[in-house]
Amino acid sequence: MSSSSTPSQRGYRIPAEWEPHQGTILTWPHDARHWPGLFDQVPAIWARMVKELEQGEDVHIFIHDDATEQVAKNAMKKAKVQGDRVTIHRVPNNWAWARDHGGIFVKNNRGDRAVTHWQINGWGGQWDHDLDSQLPEEMARIAGVPSIKVPMVLEGGSIDVNGCGTLMTTEECLLNPNRNPGLTKEQIEQQLKDNLGVTNILWLGKGIMGDDTSGHVDDLTRFAGPSTVVTIMNDDETDPDHAPLQENLKRLQSMADQDGKPFTIITIPQPKPVLIDRAPTQGQYTPGTGFRIPASYANFYIANECVLLPVWDDPNDEVAIRTLKRCFPERRIVPIDSRVLTWGWGSFHCVTQQIPVV
């Protein structure tokens, strides 16, 4: 195969998240600007993730500096992390959103893997990303695979796939002028097809309130099987999320997979709005009356042995837990309070990136 051929032409495809992992990549947070007033609670959340993930796969952690490493080790010790499957990598970084560093793994049927290295621009120019732009090369290094640079801005949280050729995204994000203003919709679709091995691209509309990613799909609708999607809903007609989520549901109902088959659609109601004051008391989460954070049950992460599920101290938490148990009966459902984590504008899917097995 010619070196100028695309990953798709070389048989590469992006696996579904539920396919077996070699490990999960995390980037340990070190910059308090993303969690003003609550940053001291954040290390315990990362340590809890490590404790749950290490039971079923390797965990690779990017650590910015000495001080961050000490914080991480202390937090993991307190959480009783075993550590046999945990590896720390000293890699300078900007932020902790491993899903959005620009590295996405692909594999083929010959036992080859690679990292597609997409461009990032800090969610449309909102945050520093000079160090994070190099992290796809570190992902390739720790997995021992080549990287393939792609001339298009793409964050991992803006797409979701079923592993069989279908990719779902949103118009609000991928067609936003703050991402790829020089590319048409058709050119964006071609880049996705050429580099991720997909054949069927589905477009939802807008995201939810409080989401500063311009509508990442992983806060809206997720594949839970080759022909099954889980999507969040809001039945309160006075809520700003009601109309966009209804529109997304209408689109889903008219969509089909790569074989032309309609999807089984499972809905989960949103939690009530989660508000945080812009300057919360240091070290203490209290319900606020100010800024609405993007609270969603869709931002779950499917690991080998468990599913990390964001919950919100809301009656619908139990609905989400039951729903995910039905979708993933062979995995533990691990509900973790995400209110502090999402004060930084993401949840468990945003802060993880899977390495597929060969």
List the beta bridge partners of residue 44.
Answer: none
Angle (nearest 5°) at CA 68 between 62 and 71: 115
Residues carrying an active site annotation: 350
Helix (H) or strand (E) holding 138: helix 135-143
Residue with tokens 């961050």: 68
- CATH architecture label of 21-356: 5-stranded Propeller (3.75)
pLDDT in tens, 202-224: 999 999 999 989 999 999 999 99
In the chain, % of residues over pLDDT 90 = 92
Indicate if the pLDDT at residue 111 is higher than 60: yes
Cβ pair 336, 324 in contact under 8 A: no
Tokens of 151: 């001339």
Distance CA 134, CA 172 (A): 26
Average pLDDT over residues 242-261: 98
How many CA atoms lie within 13 Å of 32's alpha carbon, on the beta-carbon side? 10
Cβ pair 7, 14 in contact under 8 A: no
DSSP state of 246: H
pLDDT value of residue 290:
77
Each domain of the chain, given as residue ranges in start order, spans 21-356
Least confident of 3-7, 38-42, 66-70, 306-310: 3-7
Cβ pair 346, 308 in contact under 8 A: no
Least confident of 35-39, 49-53, 79-83: 35-39
Phi, psi of 245 (to 5 degrees): -70, -35
DSSP-H helix ranges across 17-100: 42-53, 66-78
pLDDT in tens, 323-348: 999 999 999 999 999 999 999 999 99
- Report field, pTM of the whole predicted structure over 0.85: yes
Higher-pLDDT residue of 201 and 36 is 201
Indicate if the pLDDT at residue 165 is higher than 60: yes
Distance CA 323, CA 195 (A): 33
